[in-house]
Amino acid sequence: MKKTVVITGASSGIGYYAAKFFLEGGYNVYGLSRKAGDLAGVNYISTDLTNEESVNAAFDKIVAETGAVDILVNNAGSGISGAVEFTEMSEAKYQFDVNFFGMVRCIKCALGIMRKKGGKIINVSSVAAAFPLPFQAFYSASKSAVNALTMSLRNEVRKFGNIQVCAIMPGDVKTDFTSSRRKNETGDDVYGGIISNTISGMERDEENGMSPEYMGWLIYKVATKRKLKPFYIGGHRYKVFVFLERLLPKSFVSYVLAKMYIK
């Protein structure tokens, strides 16, 4: 019997390629997103991850059709950029509603069935959780929250013995995420032009980043492992960066980030 994987944000980018690899691996693939994708074989369900009723309805449909959620890949996310001082609270809250609470809603739906039949939860975080960039505070904070959620949840479900949880932290990836980011350069004059300069530099890094196909493959590779580690880093050089960040003084890491991005 085919296993079932649920992937949020499966209509494009990393999620699209993750869905492709799971299809090739013989899985029933369900994609939850606002817009349906065009990958043949994926069961797309229009879902608003910020709406609890929408998420509940999607999982009810999946369980009714397949009887299980063997793997949940929490991939969907959005990005905002701008100075903390000039970011509207509604924008900051929406960032967390999608990137963090959207995951929580899906996890709450999946755990009930996973307790009975086992399963894996893969949370897509970001290297930004380890390296919070200037003028990307809320995105970085939302991904740090994902990492904390992952660590807590791993131990919460440990007693059941059949549920595994991990987070994957990609570095820069070349996707439509860059163009869809909500950029706010309000206050650029107050900050001497560094808001726009920093955001432009960040976008250049992303445009020269890893392919979404590689990250989709990594998600599939991790999700099909027998035993999951707490964290996986996407991209070899980012593994080095994260390793060094854990060893070096935080003041030095902060200084290096400032030299790289504040220009």
Q: Tokens at residue 262, please? A: 């504040």
Q: Which pLDDT belongs to residue 151? A: 98
CA 249, chain centre distance (Å)? 27
To the query of whether residue 143 is one of the catalytic residues in this protein, the response is yes
**pLDDT score, position 192:** 92
The pLDDT of residue 54 is 98
On whether the pTM is more than 0.85, the answer is yes
Active site residue 16: no
Spans of the chain, pLDDT less than 70: none
Architecture of the domain defined by 4-261: 3-Layer(aba) Sandwich (3.40)
Hey, what are 120's tokens? Answer: 């894996």
Cα–Cα distances in angstroms (integers) from residue 33 to residues 37, 63, 155, 186, in the given order? 8, 17, 29, 30
Catalytic residue (choose from 16, 27, 30, 139): 139
Question: What does the block give as tokens for 26?
Answer: 């013989």
Write down the pLDDT at residue 11. Answer: 92
Predicted pLDDT of residue 67 = 95
Q: What is the tens place of the pLDDT at every residue in 46-105?
A: 999 999 999 999 999 999 999 999 999 999 999 999 999 999 999 999 999 999 999 999
The H or E element containing residue 168 is strand 163-170
94 is catalytic: no
Q: Which of 11, 33, 140, 142 is catalytic?
A: 11
| Selected catalytic residue, list 33, 78, 125, 142 | 125
Q: What is the pLDDT of residue 92?
A: 97
Q: Is 87 helix (H, G, I), strand (E, B) or coil?
A: coil
Q: Which residue is catalytic, options 143, 183, 191, 238?
A: 143
